[in-house]
C-alpha cells in the first residue's frame, strides 16, 4: 500500500490560560504536586467556544497551510468525545464552517487514540483510490465533562483542536491498532441517560451496574489507567516498527499522546531510547485527548523541526480502552 503525505497542519487552543496555581484555588492541590506527577504546568479551557468552532479554526489553518481549495476535500473525518450535538457530527459542522461542500463526513470515537484511528482510516480510503484529499479534525472541549471538584482528574485535561490535510504519498506507512473493551471501566464518561416515562424503577435496578453514578463527568481509575498506558505506549511503538520492518532506533522522532510526562518517561525507558526522542508539550496544554498529536505535529512543522524524509512514529492510548501506533515518512 502507498504512504501518505501530510500536506497541511493547523491547531487551535483557547486563549485563556489556567496555571496549576489557578487549579489549587478549586481543589486541594499545588503547583508542585501537579507538576511532579504529570509534567503539566498550565492548560487552556474554553470560555464559550463550541467544540466545532475550535475544530473549524484548526481546519482552516491546515487548509491554508496545504494551499488547497476547500472544495477539493473529498472526505472529512472528525474525532471527538465532547461533541456539541449527538447529531450532526463534528465533521459535518466543520464542513459547513469551511465550505468544503464536496466532502462526505463522519465522526469516530476512539478517545485519546482518535487521531491514530482517523489517520489509519484516511490511509485506507486514499489507498483505495476512492478519495484524493482527506481532512482530519480532532477537537476536544474537555472542560464540559470535567468534574472540577475531583482533584484526581480536573488537573489533567485541557481544551484544544488539531487538524491535518492528508493526500497520497510514496513513503513509508504502517499502522497497529488495538482495543480492550473488557477494561472500559477504567476510563468513563456517561452520555445522556434514558428518562423515558416507560423506564420503571425495576428497570433502573436491573441495569444499575452499567450506569455511572456521578453525572456526565470523566471518571478514571488512575492506577489501572497508568498501568495500561505504560504498557500500551511502548507496545504500540515496538509493534508498528516491527510491522514496518524498521528498528525503534531508526526513528527520527516519536510523538506520543500527551497524557502524562511520567508515562512518556517510563515508556522511553522500556524502549531503551533517550527521552529527547519523545516530543512533549504537555507542560503547556495538559491532556487534550485526540487533539494532542495533531497539535504536536502543527507545532513541530511550524518550528521547522520536521524534515521531509524523517521517519516518525505516532502513538495514542486512551478510553475504550484503545491504543495504536503509526509509522510514517514525513
Q: What angle do CA 240, 245, 246 make, to 5 degrees?
A: 80
Q: How confident is the model at residue 6 (pLDDT cuts 50, 70, 90)?
A: very high
**Percentage of the chain exceeding pLDDT 70:** 98
In the DSSP assignment, the letter for residue 314 is E
pLDDT at position 94 is: 98
280 three-class SS:
coil
Compute how many other C-beta atoms are within 10 angstroms of the C-beta atom of residue 72. Answer: 15
Q: What angle do CA 313, 64, 15 make, to 5 degrees?
A: 80
The per-residue pLDDT of the chain, averaged, comes to 95
Residues annotated as catalytic (active site), given as ranges: 112, 257, 287
Q: Which residues contact 287 (CB under 8 A, 6 or more apart)?
A: 40, 112, 142, 156, 157, 158, 257, 258, 259, 260
pLDDT at position 194 is: 76
Look up residue 105 and give its three cell numbers. Answer: 463526513
Name 179's bridge partners. 322
285 three-class SS:
helix
Asked if 174 and 304 count as a contact pair (C-beta separation under 8 A), the reply is: no
Question: What is the pTM for the complete model shown?
Answer: 0.95
267 three-class SS:
helix
Q: How confident is the model at residue 199 (pLDDT cuts 50, 70, 90)?
A: confident
Indicate if the pLDDT at residue 1 is higher than 80. Answer: no
pLDDT digits (tens, 9 = 90+) for 138-148: 999 999 999 99
Look up residue 242 and give its three cell numbers. Answer: 516491527
Name all domains of the chain by residue range, CATH numbers in brackets.
Answer: 3-170 (3.40.47.10), 175-184+216-329 (3.40.47.10)
Q: How confident is the model at residue 290 (pLDDT cuts 50, 70, 90)?
A: very high
Name 268's bridge partners. none
Q: How far apart are CA 210 and CA 223, in angstroms?
A: 21
Asked if 328 and 4 count as a contact pair (C-beta separation under 8 A), the reply is: yes
Asked if 192 and 323 count as a contact pair (C-beta separation under 8 A), the reply is: no
CA 141 from chain center: how many Å?
Answer: 12
User: How far apart are the two ends of the chain, measured CA to CA in Å?
Assistant: 16
Q: How far apart are CA 152 and CA 234, in angstroms?
A: 24
In the DSSP assignment, the letter for residue 106 is E
Total residue count of the chain as it appears in this document: 330
What's the order of all strands across the beta sheet hosting 311-318? Answer: 173-179, 322-329, 311-318, 253-256
Residue that wins the pLDDT comparison between 185 and 232: 232
Amino acid at each position: 500500500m502507498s504512504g501518505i503525505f501530510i500536506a497541511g497542519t493547523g491547531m487551535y487552543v483557547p486563549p485563556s490560560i489556567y496555571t496549576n496555581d489557578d487549579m489549587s484555588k478549586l481543589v486541594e492541590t499545588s503547583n508542585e504536586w501537579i507538576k511532579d506527577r504529570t509534567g503539566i504546568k498550565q492548560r487552556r479551557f474554553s470560555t464559550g467556544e463550541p467544540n466545532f468552532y475550535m475544530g473549524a479554526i484548526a481546519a482552516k489553518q491546515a487548509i491554508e497551510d496545504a494551499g488547497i481549495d476547500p472544495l477539493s476535500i473529498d472526505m472529512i473525518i472528525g474525532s471527538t468525545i465532547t461533541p456539541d450535538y449527538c447529531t450532526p457530527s463534528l465533521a459535518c459542522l466543520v464542513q459547513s464552517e469551511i465550505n468544503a461542500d464536496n466532502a462526505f463526513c463522519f465522526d469516530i470515537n476512539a478517545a485519546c487514540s482518535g487521531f491514530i484511528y482517523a489517520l489509519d482510516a484516511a490511509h485506507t480510503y486514499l489507498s483505495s483510490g476512492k478519495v484524493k484529499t482527506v481532512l482530519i479534525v480532532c477537537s476536544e472541549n474537555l472542560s464540559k465533562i470535567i468534574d472540577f471538584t475531583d482533584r484526581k482528574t480536573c488537573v489533567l485535561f485541557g481544551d484544544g483542536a488539531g487538524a491535518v490535510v492528508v493526500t497520497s504519498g510514496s513513503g513509508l506507512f504502517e499502522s497497529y491498532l488495538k482495543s480492550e473493551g473488557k477494561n472500559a471501566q477504567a476510563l468513563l464518561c456517561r452520555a445522556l441517560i434514558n428518562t423515558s416515562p416507560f423506564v420503571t424503577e425495576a428497570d433502573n435496578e436491573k441495569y444499575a451496574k452499567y450506569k455511572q453514578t456521578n453525572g456526565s463527568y470523566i471518571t478514571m481509575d488512575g492506577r489501572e489507567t497508568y498501568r495500561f498506558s505504560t504498557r500500551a505506549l511502548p507496545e504500540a511503538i515496538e509493534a508498528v516498527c516491527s510491522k514496518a520492518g524498521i528498528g525503534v532506533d531508526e526513528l527520527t522522532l516519536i510523538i506520543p499522546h500527551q497524557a502524562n510526562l511520567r508515562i512518556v518517561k517510563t515508556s522511553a525507558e522500556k524502549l531503551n531510547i533517550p527521552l529527547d526522542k519523545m516530543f512533549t508539550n504537555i507542560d503547556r496544554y495538559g491532556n487534550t485527548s485526540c487533539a494532542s498529536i495533531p497539535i504536536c505535529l502543527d507545532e513541530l512543522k511550524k518550528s521547522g523541526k520536521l524534515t521531509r524524509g524523517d521517519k516518525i512514529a505516532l502513538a495514542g492510548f486512551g478510553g475504550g480502552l484503545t491504543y495504536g501506533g503509526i509509522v510514517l515518512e514525513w
